A and B are shown apart, each in its own frame.
Chain A
């Protein structure tokens, strides 16, 4: 196969992969959002149940991706539980990596994707449910949201190039 790289997963990643916490659709979710694309081999969907006080009561996820992707999404659903949306917004991909006991560098994008899905869900909540933007919520897309977008656009570009370039 092409170029390989050793992936020394932390015990926490392996445990969460083996028995993921908060897995599956949330039937009473207030909001949900997806990041990533099947063509990239990385998709995370985050489901949030949000109280009137803007506190995350429950969170769950679905994932199509590698072990690090599944573990990143799972741990994030644990990390956001009981937090206000403002607190949850501030969780960075580095916090996820730390909570997982380290993430191989080549898998950083997994935790970026997880925070990207979370941020999209929070943004969607204010746009669709609250129909207002709190002062702490930046008007422009954050790095994580941009990264998720970039990942999705990258693969679209690849396919366009592929279709355009290989016609014989």
Chain B
């Protein structure tokens, strides 16, 4: 039984490969890998909360990473960074940790938007079993939350509001400052969490100015290794541990911190923020080139999410009508172009992307969706090559389809 091996053998290695699936996980540059390597067996391989040299060296990694996080997010004082082992864990800690810290209180309402990541939506839904009430705020057809509509969901029972800064699928950059203000104006005690996993390193973030209480970040979304998530917590915001065990350097997430991965994450942050403005500019140019090439070369395409400055610089999400997205990901994979789809056929529950349904896409539109994330490592030629392959792949599948009018 070695099925994947057989599959990979038949698949073969395409003559040219371009990876765009940074939504699901990312390619890690050599500098980041190199930054990790010493911490497996040269230094800092110890436990960061133990009194020996390899332990203190491990602790140094945490301290330095917190330093770069603070600098890049403008947090000088009055907050802490909690290391988890994924963005999913950090989001769970934010949602469930806040709820459990207020169990038995008068405030039992959790407000989330319809396009949040599952690691926010599912824990919020799970909390209903513990007597909390979760309400889901709708978004418009580009994924924006209207401040007035959000207001309508806030009342004196509201404990927590969670609104993503940038949507992971359709790239909508939320006008978060305004939303925080609206909520805090009603009652400053309402905890405001933002999932900034797709914002960090791609849009400027100033935590102090934003006034959020909790913020989630993930390493593998910015070319860092998998296995590191971070929850920022403003001082005075109450949360409770949701997993239990030996505490290490921090009180909210027990277990040994993943030091080599955190060392890689630190390097990834430095690379993303070194020449930040130019990195963003480059991503935007590639994003717009990819949109233009697709829309100029392929018919019957629908853009999912906003265009221009309201869209994340790395996000391209389009639906190819009359084509099923999973088939398209496989066809493109055979051609060396690696992407993902919001089609039901790629999912465990056979339902298409909840984000695409929330912005009003019909099922057949969601089934044909393809998500690309461009990076500063892509070239214009990568984009043009990908669209050549894409054009052929879409034609091939449309020719198979009984839905296509030919």
Chain A interfacial positions (CB closer than 8 Å to B) = 1-5, 7-11, 14-15, 17-18, 20, 23-24, 34, 38-43, 45, 62-70, 102, 106, 109, 155, 158
CB of A62 within 8 A of CB of B327, answer: no
Contacts of B325 in A (CB 8 A): 41
CA distance A83 to B4 in the complex (A): 34
Top 4 closest pairs, chain A to chain B, by CB: A66-B345, A41-B367, A3-B348, A66-B326
Question: Please, what's the 1-or-0 string for B328-353, where 1 marks a CB less than 8 Å from any CB in chain A?
Answer: 00110010000010111111111111
Residue numbers of B with Cβ under 8 A of A are 3-4, 6-7, 9-11, 23-24, 118, 169, 322-327, 330-331, 334, 340, 342-355, 362-364, 367, 371, 399-403
In the bound assembly, the distance between CA atoms of A7 and B324 in angstroms comes to: 16
Kindly state the separation between the CA atoms of A69 and B348 in the bound complex, as whole angstroms. 16
Smallest CB–CB gap between B312 and chain A, Å? 16
A11–B7 CB distance below 8 A? yes
Cβ-defined contact, B349 with A3, below 8 A: yes
Complexed CA–CA distance, A149 and B354 (Å): 25
Of all chain A residues, which has the CB nearest B349?
A3
Q: A9: nearest residue on chain B (CB-CB)?
A: B7
A40 to B118, CA, bound (A): 22
B4 touches A8 (CB 8 A): yes
A-chain residues with CB within 8 Å of residue B347 when the two chains form the complex: 1-5
Decide if B327 touches A70 in the complex (CB within 8 Å): yes
Query: Closest CB of chain B to A83's CB: distance in Å?
Result: 23
| Contact across chains for A20 and B403 when beta carbons are under 8 A apart | no
Q: Would A2 and B327 be within 8 Å (CB), given that A8-B4, A14-B10, A64-B322 are in contact?
A: no
Out of B330, B340, B355, B402, name the residue touching A45 (CB < 8 Å). Answer: B402
Question: Given contacts A39-B362, A40-B363, are A15 and B10 in contact (CB under 8 A)?
Answer: yes
* A8-B7, A15-B10, A70-B327 given; A64·B351 CB < 8 A: no
Please name the residue on chain B nearest to A62 by beta carbon.
B402
Contact of A11 among B6, B169, B334 (CB under 8 A): B6
Cβ of A34: which chain B residues have Cβ within 8 Å of it? Answer: 402
Chain B residues whose C-beta falls within 8 Å of the C-beta of A66 in the assembled complex:
324, 326-327, 330, 343, 345-346
Residues of A within 8 A of B326 (CB): 66-67
Question: If A39-B362, A155-B363 touch, does A2 touch B400 (CB 8 Å cutoff)?
Answer: no
Closest A residue to B342 using CB positions: A1
A8 touches B367 (CB 8 A): no
A65 proximity list for chain B (CB < 8 A):
324, 327, 345
Decide: B3 and A2 in contact? CB cutoff 8 A.
no
- Cα A34 to Cα B354 in complex, Å, equals 28
Shortest CB distance B356–A (Å): 9
On whether the beta carbons of A14 and B401 are closer than 8 Å, the reply is no
11 cross-chain CB contacts under 8 A: A2-B351, A4-B24, A4-B348, A11-B9, A20-B400, A23-B400, A40-B344, A41-B364, A66-B343, A70-B400, A106-B348
Could you say which residues of chain B place their CB within 8 Å of the CB of A43? Answer: 401-403
Q: Are B402 and A39 in contact (CB under 8 A)?
A: no
Q: Whole-angstrom distance between the alpha carbons of A3 and B24 in the complex? A: 12
Select from chain B the residue with minimum beta-carbon distance to A14: B10
Least Cβ–Cβ distance between A64 and chain B, in angstroms: 4
Indicate if the CB atoms of A62 and B401 lie closer than 8 Å: yes
Task: Report whether B402 and A64 are in contact in the complex, using a CB–CB cutoff of 8 Å.
Answer: yes
Whether the Cβ atoms of B334 and A18 lie closer than 8 Å is: yes
In whole Å, how far is A130's beta carbon from the nearest beta carbon of chain B?
A: 25
- The reply to whether B342 and A17 contact each other, CB–CB distance below 8 Å, is no
Q: Which residues of A contact B169 (CB under 8 A)?
A: 1
A65: nearest chain-B partner, CB-CB = B324
**Inter-chain pairs besides A5-B347, A41-B363, A64-B403, 13 sampled, C-beta below 8 Å:** A2-B353, A3-B348, A10-B7, A11-B10, A15-B10, A24-B399, A40-B344, A40-B363, A41-B367, A43-B402, A63-B402, A64-B402, A65-B345
Tell me whether B343 and A41 are in contact (CB under 8 A). yes
Q: Provide the bound-state CA to CA distance between A115 and B7, in Å.
A: 25
- Judging by beta carbons under 8 Å apart, are A39 and B364 in contact? yes
Structural contact, A1 and B10, CB atoms closer than 8 A: no
Across the interface, A63 reaches (CB within 8 A) one of B7, B118, B345, B400, namely B400
Chain B residues whose C-beta falls within 8 Å of the C-beta of A64 in the assembled complex: 322-324, 400-403
Q: For the complex, what is the distance from the CA of A62 to the CA of B327, rounded to whole Å?
A: 14
Distance (whole angstroms) from the CB of B114 to the closest CB of chain A:
11
Complex alpha-carbon distance, A1 and B24, angstroms? 8
